[in-house]
Amino acid sequence: KEFRNNVKPNWCPGCGDFSIQAAIQRAAANVGLEPEQLAVVSGIGCSGRISGYINAYGFHSIHGRALPIAQGLKLANRDLTVIASGGDGDGFAIGMGHTVHAIRRNVNITYIVMDNQIYGLTKGQTSPRSAVGFKTKSTPEGAIESTLSPLEIAMASGATFVAQSFSSDLKQLTSLIEEGIKHEGFSFINVFSPCVTFNKINTYDWFKENIINLNTVENYDSSNRIMAMTKLMESGGMITGLIYQDKTRKSYENQVVGFRPEPLAKQNLQISPTDFEKLVAEFK
């Protein structure tokens, strides 16, 4: 199964986004998908280009709006596996309203955020993920606003699948994406993805020194919500692995009464003229 296409990514050499592209391609193949069964919807930013770099249905959408499109796509065609993707600026600034509501809605899609803690495409401004004191062209005296904690927000919004990885750890990242695809409901995967061109603080070495892999944490239980929240707060959000999963809650589409499972395009929507008139009358 071939999820590679002939498009050469124009990311900077060394950008963390390359690994995320490779992990999505490997995970899709490992779970047995065919290219025509996968759709990748992206927002705007360097990361937003990913929808054109994978041999699947691709939709390069608008800034902060990948999630509404991805959810609509899934609800219209439940046979598709849908992955939404974008950067931390895209998902946690302009798109944050959509992110929290998509999390609590729990439509069965996977959301992968390429978190480089800066705006790369516009050449290096602070993002909601930048640390206090972070100096860029937009904050020459250092960022004043506090850093947003997306995973804690996800937990507080009722997430059913929360994971985090690092683009250097392709094995872990691939496996988490596989688990996210298989999870019934909204799976949220934040990935530390260094911007080698504009972020000289949060580098590969910096992440390696600061990350705690949950595999090394004795007796960690990813089904325990309080343990997940506590570990996130203790580590300042620097843990990687499967942080939390709730397998008991059904996805949005599996709870809507009378929602037919077959794709809209395959449903017989023929209606008699009498029934059509009745329907129109209801809306008058």
Q: Return the CA Rg of the chain.
A: 20
Amino acid at 235: S
Nearest to ligand SF4 of 119, 252 (CB atom):
119
Beta-bridged to residue 163, according to DSSP, are 189, 242
12 vs 33, beta carbon nearer ligand SF4 = 12
Q: Shortest gap between Cβ of 284 and ligand SF4 (angstroms)?
A: 53
Residue from the set 31, 94, 196, 212 that interacts with ligand SF4 by CB under 6 A: 196
Asked if residue 46 binds ligand SF4 (CB under 6 A), the reply is yes
Of the pair 15, 103, the CB lying nearest ligand SF4 is at 15
Q: Applying CB under 6 A, which part among 8-16, 30-38, 142-150, 175-183 lies near ligand SF4?
A: 8-16
Q: Is the alpha carbon torsion for 41, 47, 49, 50 positive or negative?
A: negative
Maximum separation of any 2 CA atoms in the chain, in Å? 69
3 state DSSP class of 109: coil
Residues 39 and 80: their CA atoms lie apart, in Å, by 7
Q: Is residue 56 a contact partner of residue 35, using CB atoms and an 8 Å limit?
A: yes
| 120 is a site residue for ligand SF4 (CB under 6 A) | yes
Please report which residue ranges of 157-282 form alpha helices under DSSP H. 170-182, 204-210, 225-235, 273-282
Alpha-carbon gap, residue 95 to 69, rounded angstroms: 12
197 lies in the binding site for ligand SF4 (CB under 6 A)? yes
Strands 161-166 and 239-245: what pairing? antiparallel
Tell the smallest beta-carbon distance from residue 37 to ligand SF4 (Å).
Answer: 28
Stretch that binds ligand SF4, among 104-112, 191-199, 209-217, 229-237 (CB under 6 A): 191-199
CB of 87 to ligand SF4, least distance (A): 7
Residue among 25, 42, 61, 116 that touches ligand SF4 (CB under 6 A):
116
In the complex, the residues that contact ligand SF4 under the rule CB under 6 A are 11-12, 15, 17, 46, 116, 120-121, 195-198
